[in-house]
Amino acid sequence: MATWQCVKECGACCNLDPAERPDLDEYLSPPELELYLSMVGEGGWCVNFDHTTRECRIYQNRPRFCRVESEVFQDMYGVEAEEVNDFAIDCCRQQIEGVYGDRSLEILRFNKAVGL
């Protein structure tokens, strides 16, 4: 069975381009939406994403909407705890493919890491 995990030095989730996420206001509160939009930098990338190390500069203090946790996914998307694993895998695959392509090193690494 595939098990979700974050793959280091990927950063696909740090591509915050609002044009790619037109339904942000459906799952972010007004203050969260304001924070999200303030984090969007050049090319749609998060201002906290270090392009050299491909890591988050504020990982320990990242906002709630950047966390893959059962409580967050249930609150934001209505996903039940037992569905979080599959939902997270699908979200990551979609985001990685959208940012890097469906034959990218990042998607190959992710698929291998989660057991696909």
Where do the domains of the chain lie? 12-114
In the 8-state DSSP scheme, what is residue 15?
Answer: B
Question: Model confidence over 3-47: pLDDT tens digits?
Answer: 999 999 999 999 999 999 999 999 999 999 999 999 999 999 999
Contact between 95 and 12 under an 8 Å Cβ cutoff? The reply is yes
Task: Read off the amino acid at residue 59.
Answer: Y
pLDDT score of 52:
96
Structure-token pair, residue 55: 């890591």
pTM for this predicted structure = 0.91
Q: Is the distance from CB of 109 to CB of 12 less than 8 angstroms?
A: no
User: Which pLDDT tens digit goes with each residue over 67-81?
Assistant: 999 999 999 999 999
Task: Report whether pLDDT(1) > 90.
Answer: no
